Structure 1
């Protein structure tokens, strides 16, 4: 393709991007504190046979809730108490912490997408009726954006794609390698952990702006 034609295409793309309002690129954000998801068998091991989680509050993602129940998680260096359980019960147990939390625990959890726990860090779980040592299951969750297929079409992104998110405010930052997760079950929202939130003064009222990697290079 001739250089003139390439430049014409680039100019057209830039013009279109400039014509997109910030509002159309806006992503509501939420701060995800340390928490755990338990399998049914592990829930019963920690709370007793036949135990069912009780709802404290609904979460933004449909069908998900914060339970009244909490556990203690422990590592070789220390422990963290009152770690909230999120429901409903899943087919596997996963504990999500921040990098700061991992230092206190004395463990080195990998940065992973939720659900990818193979080869992750071990963790001890302590409940009112028992304790468990899990050989894997402790992760630092990859910053991600939940969206519906319609949202993905709007933002012209695909499931599994990585984007950047710009956050304005008192301490402006750009978060890179933010994972796109698409499902008709989701509601549009970006999740960051407490370390990321503290770095950018991010709260539950913060709005980010999605930037595709190819757009950033124009």
Structure 2
């Protein structure tokens, strides 16, 4: 190894220590399994009056956590037990599942951005103290990329824009129509569901290349 190679390696390590993105078009990928968000009143209906979620682990996005508590999601054809609740409590309850999960439940939830549940599928949630039927709230989550305004500037994208992500796995795949979500509270990360991960043989911790939609593949 010559001096130029050594210098290049040292420069790369120093950039990583400084938090610099290398290369600039790479996005880390996280696989999001089925989960539930609950409003305060629904949480109490399922777990009892005054109940508070207890933290199992922090999530990558600031202030969000996986709770120790789980619920059962029930549909006309089947149910899925031990579905993790994510905290903190939200204004509206929402359950996010994969298409495979939806088939097992016998339901047909729409593909939606998280939080946009108007007109989505109804579903029953069962907890240790009771059950609730929500008229809308079951969705298949739109894959998306969380990023800070600084990330958005570096990638030259904006909130609400759609891009492509190319993943070089053992089964290479290109995700089209990937939503950009920008907030100071976010950390750079793409979220896909388990069906998408399985289709591309993708595991958590892998990376993808962000491609602007007007670019050639």
TM-score for both structures, normalised by structure 1: 0.89
8 Å Cα contact 1:22-1:209 kept in structure 2: no
User: 1:175 & 1:72 partners in 2: Cα distance?
Assistant: 30
Matches within 5 A, 1:110-121: 110-121=110-121
The equivalent residue for 1:208 is 208
CA distance in 1, matches of 2:207, 2:170: 13
Question: 1: distance between equivalents of 2:23 and 2:166?
Answer: 13
Aligned to 1:37: 37
Task: List alignment gaps of at least 5 residues for structure 2.
Answer: 1-20
CA distance in 2, matches of 1:145, 1:137: 21
Q: For the residues of structure 1 that align with 2:60 and 2:100, how far apart are their CA atoms?
A: 25
Structure-to-structure mapping, 1:9-158, within 5 angstroms: 23-158=23-158
Question: Is contact 1:31-1:197 (8 Å) kept?
Answer: yes
Q: Deviations over 1:39-87 (max 9, x none)?
A: 0000000000000000000000010000000000000000000000000
Equivalent runs, 1:137-216 vs 2, <5 Å: 137-216=137-216
Looking at structure 2, the residues matched to 39 and 92 of structure 1 have their Cα atoms a distance apart, in angstroms, of 5
How many positions carry a matched residue from both structures?
A: 197
- Provide the aligned C-alpha RMSD in A: 1.1
Q: Normalization by structure 2: what TM-score?
A: 0.89
- Give the 4+ runs in structure 1 shifted more than 6 A: none
Aligned equivalents of 1:77 and 1:131: distance in 2?
17
Shift of 1:202: 1.0
Cα drift, residue 23 of structure 1: 1.4
> Secondary structure of 2:89's partner?
coil
**What does the per-residue CA deviation read over 1:12-33, in whole Å, with 9 as the maximum and x for residues that have no partner?**
xxxxxxxxx9711000000000
Q: Distance in 1 between matches of 2:83 and 2:40?
A: 17
Partner residue in 1 for 2:16: none
Q: CA deviation at 1:204?
A: 1.2
More helix by share: 1
Distance 2:136 2:169 in 1: 38
Distance apart, 1:216 and its partner CA:
2.6
User: 1:155 & 1:200 partners in 2: Cα distance?
Assistant: 24
